[in-house]
Structure 1
Amino acid sequence: MKLQKTVIAVALLAALSACSNDDDTNQGDKGFNLTIAHINDTHSNFDPVKSSFTMGKDGEVVFNEFGGYPRLLEAANEIKEETSQPLLFLHGGDAWQGTAYFKLNEGTANADLLSQMGLDAMALGNHEFDLDTSKLASFIDSVNFPLLANNMDAGLDSALSGSTNLKPYQLFAFDGATKRTISEVTEANDNEQIVAVIGVVLEDMPTIATGTGDVKFENEIAFTQVTVNALKAQGVNKIVVLSHIGNARDIALAEGTTDIDVIVGGHSHTLLGDFTDLGHGDNGVYAQLVKQKDEVGQTCIVQAGQYAQAIGKVDVKFDSEGELLSCAGQNTLLTNEEFYNDGKREESDLLTGADHEKVASFIDENVLIDDVEENNDMRVHIDATYKPALEEAYGEVVANAPQEINHERRPGDGGTDKHGSDVAPLIAEGMVYWANQTDVNSVIGKKVQIGLVGAGGVRTDIASGEFREGHASLELLPFSNYLSVLTINGEVLTELLTSTIDATLPVGSHAGKFPYVGGMRYTFTEEVKNTSGNISSIDINTGTETEPRWEPISSATDYVVIVNNYNASGNDGWNALGDAQLQATDRVDLVKTSTGYKAYKVDHLTYNSTENTYSVVYADSAPSCDDNGTDICNTDALSFIDYAEEKVVLESLPFESTTVIYKD
């Protein structure tokens, strides 16, 4: 991190803060200053992510790589070296899942690498519950920093109940810039300042995560206020919340409580700040000050994007009574120093000489992007320990992508247009193609018309170049979901689209539930800004992908849809599908076996109103998907592999299937 750039940026931001303080010391009556470096939703991106940026709002596009764990480590180390005042380095959760590294190593590789980061604490994300609580417990007990969650009760879970490294909060005692962890306020010395970091996890975790075991999750606002009150009663007056609930709910948490000074967030993958000049959109205010419940106090909110591409740094000032005086800072995208003028990244596309210097100069002058070298020790360790197995696991080349195909969860995010992701519609179209192949369709017994995909189930862009089997099964669709086929009418389909899109409209909301489609198209028009809208047009494709023929969808007509079993069972807010199966359903869940494909008949779903979760009741037996099972259950990935192999050349669909018109 270039010190001069960072100092200038923070100085400018501090001048715009709601209030300021010229006192820069941390002793006695003179207040306390704290720097927080933070990351979130790193999702096992040990290697850099291929990406691009623009040199100015309408400037040239430069193809580069962002982040990766070694580059994050180097950036964090530079912040620590440049900062002479008290500092915390925090992770907002969801280190798990996302790349082939996690598929091959589960939690062990993350435990290894994150323990080298010098983290002070991490919030529990929903993807930390993707396996089971035994594997999560192993991860928690292996790392050298605490995992935090104050609104979670693991007492009844046999795997997690005994973990001493899973805590509601962690106390840090500072003597100047010297920091130590303490368990009780009474352990602090008279000359030390105490900062509490409280973990907050999703209260509706069982509706999102599949491996929560016997853990109970409690109200985010109510439980956190109780914890804050208890700490305040003990004399702790500097309180940081480390959350994994999403930016919109971070704001609600700040507005619904008192005495929280800073919220360091995760879950919504929000790269807070105006990155329009880099082609990455205006994603909301970094270090936003939100009025608390008493309309007197203020809470500062930050979050640092996704996939280990950026690091956040916020400087916080307190007065001698622990009242928040100001907060200022920024996110910084971390780029490599190899630039191309085309997404194919061929040798002829490499920028050299004056062209390279032009990009380097632009980066030097822009405070929101920085060229940071990778930490060499961590890179060597990854390449020696984890890379060989990863390379072997990718399998055969099945297609080629002439250009990068972009994925964003919600239209308009990350500088995208009103149509959003180009990858998710391709996957949905591929599911329809796969289901209607003779060997698959013979076990379904009916033609599949529509594919539905939740944006959060798609984890990466499709890079230009060779597309191998592992790009689908290990990266793009890594959750090993099987596909479900069921019949719903147009009314249910419209309600599903409306309710899931409405839930993504609030600023900073988690957009994993956003629906993309294949075999059809729709337009959603927002009516109440950031609140609600309606499906203004919806059509089914009765033709082909290359020669579509559009006919309006009727609310009373039945349609055969294919969707992964996670969303088919009403998870992550897809309640319209869950509710449609409560009495009865014709749904079948599709897996692959050693001899072909097999369909498991679902009789109906049941609903737990207390936890807002659905359970599947099979007519006979359920798919056997555990480590000892006989079924090959990742038919979501297998379907796209078959589709890619058929296409040979992977390109965006020739038509737009998803359109969102936002209200001005």
Structure 2
Amino acid sequence: MKGKKHFTFLLSAITTLALLVSIVLPASTYAEENSDSFKLTIMHMNDTHAHADLLPNMMTAIKEVRTEDPEALLFNAGDVFSGTLYFNEYHGKADLALLNMMDLDAMVFGNHEFDLGSSENGHKSLSEFVSAAKFPLLGTNVDFSSDAFMNKLVKNEFTDSPEDGKVFDGMVKEVNGEKIGIFGLTTEDTANISSPVNVKFLNYIKEAERAVQAFEEMGINKIVAVTHLGYDSNPDFGNDLQLATYVDGIDVVVGGHSHTQLSEPVVVNKDEKGTEKEPTVVVQAYQYSQLLGKLQVEFDGNGVVIGQAGQLIDVASKEEDSEAAAILAPYKEKITELSTQESGAIAKKTLANPRLTDSDVSVRANETELGNLVTDAMLAKAKERYPETVIAFQNGGGIRAAIEEGPITIGEIISVLPFGNDPVVVELSGEEIKQILEHSVSQAPAESGGFLHVAGMKFTYDSTKESGSRVISMYVKVNGEYQEIQANQKYLVTTNNFTAKGGDGFDVFAKAYQEGRVQDIGEIDWEQLRKYMVEDLGGVADPVLEGRITDLLGTDPETPGDEEEEVTPEEPEVENPETGGNEDDSSDTDNPTDATGSETDDDNTDIGDNAGIENDTELEQDVNDNQGSKETVSNSSEGNALPNTATSMYTMLLVGGILLVAGIGFLVFRMMKYSKA
């Protein structure tokens, strides 16, 4: 009897140990072999915005993926146009020379593809781009019928034999014997933020449903939407999450427009009512030719997604493709020459961009003349489209270089604002503006990339007070006079899309973005600055310090007068000049982080540390447990390290497991010894 008890006890101990091991050790996510399943690889890029210099590196990355999977598809999710001198000079032709080498399967129109409509009285440059493309374009919800240049290139049909240089409602690609339906959607907001002229944009939900129905009638049950809607953009105009939620039958959404860095695919498996639905996988690959997305998705015999894995490949880490580099070379040579051309404006004096490493003031801690010039340009140009705009904000971390006295070159302007950010307008309450300013000066007198330069307003704060309770007064300029900002009143402000999405930790902006209170203006920030200096300032830039931002340092505030005066604000004493002054400081905002779409230094190629880039991943089989979260990929041993919290938990569980085993062994030993006694 005792032996039986000992055996039962040992069996129980072994069972407990096995359960513990199953909890502690990560489960494999390898998809089991299934003869009925089908695996598809999709490469994707978006919002390259004429950043052609990295396209030869992109070519190398594409070739590497095709070496692994020759049948991999490649999509471009729009906004090839606008952003750098390549576009200003070549209107997309330089980019197209490289895109044609890449053997794209399809491209969707972005809103910036329509930027030249007004100046050309139609889309002549766009039609030249499309007709020369060695790939088809998708315009499921775009009506080109009234545009004289584009209408002859459009075929309103869903076809299984798409032609290069033509626009289709949808197309079918056959991959390893399986047919894939592909259609494309462009944001309806294009009518507001670009110059489509006679081009119309139809309801994206209705057109998506039409596309799905057309493919299903063709017997196709694997459907991909290539979109330029934005991952989580203004819901008034629609976004990828809404598309995946409201339209049944879409298996994959390859997105653009919001410049979102989805380091891992997002799986949406509930509809608008919260009811379980077949999974839709959503991906997006940031911006400016920096990342190539790679998605592997697995379907069952009925065309339902049963597994997926995704990664972002750091393009700058790749060598240039020699053939692609040679094709780009003549374009690049011309652009180098153009960067030294004069913009039409002159600087009356050197406009410094100081840091605490070599100055008593900093662009990231104090009002500067250059910061005032940049925000004045933002406010003036925003008012042209949205006259009710009263305030401009520019994060100091986004101002990157000085302007020397004398003629200002195009290259200098781009160096000041190198990120090519889209300006936006945001509706905020006075109380929200106060919270934003509190965050702006929370690190003062130390540097912070989130320190905001302002136009259209003045405010005072006291850096001797506790962070979060520093802002003393806020005034907005209305009809030439300063009025105190009221907590409950609404104000329209302009900033860049990085800040508007919550970059630099601006939670108030992030909340406004999520609530649909952010509207893209349809400009590029450095072009705003150039136009402002030439058109509004008559070609003469001579900004001054105006006391827009004043640190009281424990003194009493003064009510601002109606007239602006040039002042020399008292400089803050900085006990530790090194604080925040290092270009590589972890608090800097130059590196991409996550789906908020941080700014990125063009020269920084080490962007893979936080992005889940180039991880070897396996298809995650149980997508229905995902609930639409971003945590949809399980990395292999070559992927990212676990976060500290996960590593600590793993260690504690492992130690606990060892102690438990030791305890069980000790009890067994004692019981056996007792039984013998």
TM-score range, shorter chain: 0.5 to 0.7
Q: Return the offset for 1:331.
A: 1.1
Cα separation, partners in 2 of 1:215 and 1:537, compared to 1, 3 Å: farther
- Structure 1 match to 2:294: 313
Answer whether contact 2:98 2:327 (CA < 8 A) is retained.
no
- Structure 1 match to 2:409: 469
Work out the CA distance in 2 between the residues paired with 1:143 and 1:243. 19
Give the one of 385, 388, 395 matched to 2:331: 385
Answer whether contact 2:169 2:183 (CA < 8 A) is retained.
no
Cα separation, partners in 2 of 1:223 and 1:518, compared to 1, 3 Å: same
- Structure 2 match to 1:518: 455
- Structure 2 match to 1:76: 62
- Structure 2 match to 1:237: 221
Unaligned ranges ≥5, structure 2: 1-24, 118-122, 233-238, 358-362, 381-388, 438-451, 461-468, 502-518, 522-526, 546-550, 552-570, 573-579, 581-595, 597-677
Q: Return the offset for 1:465.
A: 10
Supply the AA of the counterpart residue of 2:260: T
Give the one of 38, 57, 60 matched to 1:32: 38
Cα separation, partners in 2 of 1:421 and 1:402, compared to 1, 3 Å: closer
1:220-619 equivalent positions in 2, closer than 5 A: 220-248=204-232, 249-273=239-263, 285-292=264-271, 295-335=276-316, 371-395=317-341, 429-431=372-374, 452=392, 462=400, 469-471=409-411, 473=413, 494=430, 517-518=454-455, 520=457, 539-540=473-474, 553-555=484-486
Answer whether contact 1:96 1:128 (CA < 8 A) is retained.
yes
Cα separation, partners in 2 of 1:240 and 1:434, compared to 1, 3 Å: closer
Q: Return the offset for 1:15.
A: 5.1
CA deviations on 1:338-393 (whole Å, 9 max, x unpaired) are: xxxxxxxxxxxxxxxxxxxxxxxxxxxxxxxxx31111222233222332343344
Supply the AA of the counterpart residue of 1:228: V
Q: Return the offset for 1:196.
A: 1.4
- Structure 2 match to 1:364: none
Q: Return the offset for 1:98.
A: 1.1
Percent identical residues: 28
Cα separation, partners in 2 of 1:542 and 1:30, compared to 1, 3 Å: closer
Supply the AA of the counterpart residue of 2:98: L
Answer whether contact 1:287 1:329 (CA < 8 A) is retained.
no
Aligned length, in residue pairs: 433
Answer whether contact 2:250 2:280 (CA < 8 A) is retained.
yes
Query: Which is worse superposed, 311-320 or 112-121?
Result: 112-121
Cα separation, partners in 2 of 1:425 and 1:561, compared to 1, 3 Å: farther
Q: Return the offset for 1:433.
A: 6.8
Matched, 1:213 2:197: yes
- Structure 1 match to 2:111: 126
Q: Which has the higher strand share?
A: 1
- Structure 2 match to 1:22: 33
Work out the CA distance in 1 between the residues paired with 2:356 and 2:99. 30
Work out the CA distance in 2 between the residues paired with 1:318 and 1:435. 48
Work out the CA distance in 2 between the residues paired with 1:241 and 1:435. 35
RMSD of the alignment, in Å?
Answer: 5.7
Secondary structure in 2 aligned to 1:247? coil
Work out the CA distance in 2 between the residues paired with 1:494 and 1:453. 14
Work out the CA distance in 1 between the residues paired with 2:152 and 2:270. 38
Answer whether contact 1:429 1:518 (CA < 8 A) is retained.
yes
CA deviations on 1:544-578 (whole Å, 9 max, x unpaired) are: xxxxxxx98334999999989x99xxxx9xxxxxx
Q: Return the offset for 1:434.
A: 8.1
Give the one of 48, 53, 63 matched to 1:42: 48
Cα separation, partners in 2 of 1:245 and 1:421, compared to 1, 3 Å: farther
Cα separation, partners in 2 of 1:638 and 1:312, compared to 1, 3 Å: farther
Matched, 1:117 2:102: yes
- Structure 2 match to 1:366: none
Q: Return the offset for 1:307.
A: 0.8
- Structure 2 match to 1:580: none
- Structure 2 match to 1:108: 93
Q: Return the offset for 1:153.
A: 1.3
Supply the AA of the counterpart residue of 1:69: L
Q: Return the offset for 1:117.
A: 2.0
Answer whether contact 2:231 2:260 (CA < 8 A) is retained.
yes
